Amino acid sequence: MHILVTNDDGITAPGLLALVQAMRQVGEVSVIAPDHDWSGGGHVKTLKRPLRVRQVKLADGTAALTSDGAPSDCVALGVMGLLPKKVDLIVSGINPMANLGQDVTYSGTVTAAMEGIIWHIPSIAVSLDAGRSDLGDIDYDMAARVARFVVRTLTQIQLPKGIFLNVNVPYIPVDHLKGIRLTRQGQRVYRDRLDKRQDPRGNDYYWIGGDVPTGVPETGTDVGALAQGYVSITPLQLDLTAYSTLSSMAVWGWAQEDMLPVNGIADALSLSQIVAGLETAVTP
């Protein structure tokens, strides 16, 4: 099995090295990671400039590639031809902070896995709830073990098409870990703050900062599982359609006279007809 490993903290991040070493025990590993920190960069496709790639070595001597693109760019580069061999699995991490609830669209770690799903490749994002954005003296051993266990499990059981896994590991001693919980996305509580400053020329600039986000520790959610001392594994998908709302929209009273104009001519379909068509399209 050929595993592509990436991250969003950059090619020198210790979490990346820990993940590479764990994945090497499962299969053949290739590494393509950003050349700088892309934390919070989200799902990116770089189209307005060229992407540069360099050969480097990790701290243990592992040959790797680094790019000035985003984590999702690194995945795209690998599967589009930068790597000569077909990629069978993408594993992103290990992030030093949890990616829970609404974090997933911000996270470069998670969106690298999202990019893998676009290319129809099984993908996993792995994060450690160390509660710190710095990359100091953090022990990634347990998170690496969990990642290895999840990957070995996926060699036996195939994920459904279009599904990837978001894995979050509590930062606790191994003997305090209670096990694994399959979870749904929980609710993050953000405490962001806008910090306005002025440069030496008198021009305003801004930092988006604030306190570390918390969450609602509801049972059955990713936030709740971590709070209770469990590893959280959440199956995610890119389809964000609110299917339950499609039916209810049909009774919102869209009127025929409210037809949408197209090039100055009334469209032949009312919105209620459009919704009815959508309902038909998504009915099994």
Residue 275, pLDDT above cutoff 80: no
Contact call for residues 238 and 270 (beta carbons, < 8 A): no
Tell the residue number behind the tokens 């974090």, with chain if given: 103
In sequence order, the 6+-apart residues with CB closer than 8 A to the CB of 153 are none
d(C-alpha 144, C-alpha 16), whole Å: 10
Q: What is the pLDDT of residues 181-226, one digit of tens each?
A: 999 999 999 999 999 999 999 999 999 989 889 999 999 999 999 9
| Residue where the block lists tokens 């990019």 | 115
The strands making up 123-129's β-sheet, listed across from edge to edge, are 53-57, 63-67, 28-34, 2-6, 89-95, 123-129, 163-170, 230-237, 179-182
**Residue 200 token pair:** 């030496």
The pair of three-digit structure tokens given for residue 121, joined into one six-digit string = 């490749």
d(CA 176, CA 13): 26
Residue 250 backbone zone (phi > 0: left; psi -120 to 50: alpha; other: beta): alpha
pLDDT given at position 228 = 97
Q: Which residues neighbour 135 within 8 Å (Cβ) at sequence distance 6 or greater?
A: 9, 13, 14, 15, 96
Residue-level length of the chain: 284
Banded model confidence at residue 249, pLDDT cuts 50, 70, 90: confident
| Out of 27-36, 214-223, 246-255, least confident range | 246-255
Give the pLDDT score at 248: 83
Domain annotation for the chain: domains and CATH numbers:
2-187+215-237 (3.40.1210.10), 243-282 (no CATH)
**pLDDT for 244:** 85
Residue 257 confidence (pLDDT) above 60? no
Distance in angstroms (rounded) separating the CA atoms of residues 237 and 162? 6
- The mean pLDDT value of the chain amounts to 90
Q: What is the pLDDT of residues 102-149, one digit of tens each?
A: 999 999 999 999 999 999 999 999 999 998 655 568 999 999 999 999
Compute the distance between CA of residue 192 and CA of residue 213 in angstroms, rounded to an integer.
Answer: 8
Contact residues for 45 (Cβ-Cβ < 8 A; gap 6+):
72, 73, 76
- Residue matched to tokens 């001392």: 229
Question: Is residue 231 scored above 60 in pLDDT?
Answer: yes
pTM of the model: 0.87
Q: Which two tokens stand for residue 138?
A: 């953090």
DSSP label at residue 222: H
Distance (Å, rounded) from C-alpha 50 to C-alpha 173? 44
Q: 154-185: per-residue pLDDT in tens?
A: 999 989 999 999 999 999 999 999 999 999 99
Contact yes or no for 113/4 (Cβ under 8 A): no
Secondary structure of the chain: what % helix, strand, coil (to 5)? 30, 30, 40
